[in-house]
Amino acid sequence: MHKSKTLYLVRHGQASAGTSDYDRLSEQGIRQATLVGEHFRSDGIIAPSAHWSGGMKRQRQTAGFAHPDARENDAIAVHKGLNEYDHHSVHTHFEPGYLDKRDANTDMTNSMTIDEYHTIVQSWINHTPFHDAPYTGERFTDFEQRCLNAVTDIAQATTHEHTALYTSGGVIAVVTAALSDMPREALTQHIWTIKNASITTLQLHDGQLSIEAVNDVTHLEKHDDPSLITYI
């Protein structure tokens, strides 16, 4: 009989959209990450005893601010399968007019509308670029499989009953979509709804992953500060 394991998929805190380096936490993102750690150390919560992160700066920073002791002891493992998709590569090929309007010194994510985002991601999922330049980036189907493989690999390899995985919204969305048989046409909206510093809980039992909770931010909402609820 296999012992059950709990995996917490934590989205990184708010990143620095609209700056020259999106891939780092904003001041609000640092606060969110710290509150994730406080939540895991709260009474009545079974804290994760193993910590994993993707290789991206914002993911590693979130894990480090949430678990400073693990960071200081170099006890946060890195699995690049938890990395987000390359939004620059995707936008370059799947956003209409991107090549004409991009600014090399700023990140455009901050000014993107929800409709524009849905158009880009759906085009990437369907692999229908808006120009003829060859696309050499990661295809959506490969991204999806990479994410599933990473989470499954960690779940099966860890000897701990409770493990935290610090990752990104796209990763969490495609994993939970796959586990819930979500239609592809609903996926773009699902990706957009995954909040910064949210906790998605999975269970591994008898070798099978299942969803216990998705996109939980009660640990942020209890502070009665609407600015803690962010999406970028």
Q: Taking the CA atoms of the chain, what radius of gyration do you get in angstroms?
A: 17
Cα dist. 191→56, 131, 168, 187 in Å? 18, 24, 10, 6
53: CATH: 3.40.50.1240
Quote the CA–CA distance of 67 and 24 in Å, as a whole number.
Answer: 17
0.85 surpassed by pTM:
yes
- State mean pLDDT over 163-190: 96
Q: Where are the extended beta strands (E) located within 67-157?
A: 76-78
**pLDDT at 106 exceeding the cut of 50:** no
CB-CB contact of 186 with 162 (8 Å): no
Residue 15: CA count within 13 A, CB half-sphere:
26
**pLDDT at 136 exceeding the cut of 50:** yes
Quote the CA–CA distance of 68 and 77 in Å, as a whole number.
Answer: 14
Number of domains the chain is built from: 1
**Cα 15 off chain centre by:** 11
pLDDT digits (tens, 9 = 90+) for 31-69: 999 999 999 999 677 889 999 999 999 999 999 999 999
Quote the CA–CA distance of 24 and 62 in Å, as a whole number.
Answer: 9
Tell me how crowded residue 70 is: count the other CB atoms within 10 A of its CB: 20
Domain range spanning residue 30? 5-228
